[in-house]
């Protein structure tokens, strides 16, 4: 237990844990496509940025197509919301206005006095 008292084994253990954590951190970052960090804090871009595989190209094209489809759907949704909210409310007001005006206008039908031929 002399390494707990500040001997060289303690310093080596701290260095080993720090180095291992740095390696694990860079492995996780590389796996998820983030820039890598070197020992001095510099950043290195992943090497796959310039070389696209066929799978990556296919996924980018599919992603672009899905984004275009989503944009078209959003445009349609905006139009439908405008029709439902704006026109629907004014249409119901117009119908009610016609009901109110109907009492005053029009010619009454006298169905009882109609001659049968």
47 and 59, same domain (yes or no): no
Task: Note down the domain range covering 23.
Answer: 1-51
Is 110 part of a structural domain of the chain?
no
* Overall number of domains in the chain: 2
**In the numeric block, which tokens belong to residue 62?**
């599919």
**Bridge partners for 43 per DSSP:** 37
| Same domain as 64, residue 18 | no
Q: Outline where 1-117 has alpha helix (H).
A: 8-31, 54-82, 88-102
How big, in percent rounded to 5, are the helix, strand and coil portions of the chain? 70, 5, 30
- Domain presence at residue 96: yes
Same domain as 47, residue 61:
no
Q: Is the pLDDT of residue 69 over 90?
A: yes
- 70 falls in which pLDDT band (50, 70, 90)? very high
Pairwise pLDDT comparison (17 vs 7), residue with the higher score? 17
45 and 60 in one domain? no
Q: Note the pLDDT tens digit of each residue in 104-115.
A: 556 666 666 655
- pLDDT tens per residue, range 75-88: 999 988 887 777 55
Identify whether residues 39 and 72 lie together within a single domain: no
pLDDT of residue 114: 58
Read off the pTM: 0.34
Q: Is residue 108 part of a domain?
A: no
7 and 41 in a single domain? The answer is yes
Is 24 within the bounds of a domain? yes
pLDDT confidence tier of residue 72, bands split at 50, 70 and 90: very high
What does the alpha-carbon distance between residue 34 and residue 25 come to, in Å, rounded to a whole number? 11
CA nearest 35: which of 25, 27, 26, 45?
Answer: 45
Same domain, residue pair 36 and 79:
no
């Amino acid at each position: 237990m002399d390494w707990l008292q500040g001997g060289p084994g303690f310093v080596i253990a701290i260095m080993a844990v720090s180095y291992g954590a740095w390696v694990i951190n860079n492995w996780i970052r590389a796996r998820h496509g983030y820039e890598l960090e070197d020992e001095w804090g510099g950043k290195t871009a992943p090497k796959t940025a310039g070389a696209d595989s066929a799978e990556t190209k296919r996924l980018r094209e599919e992603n672009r197509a899905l984004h275009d489809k989503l944009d078209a759907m959003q445009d349609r949704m905006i139009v439908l919301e405008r029709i439902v909210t704006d026109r629907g409310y004014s249409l119901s007001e117009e119908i009610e206005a016609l009901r109110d005006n109907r009492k005053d206008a029009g010619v009454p039908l006298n169905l009882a006095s109609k001659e049968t031929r």
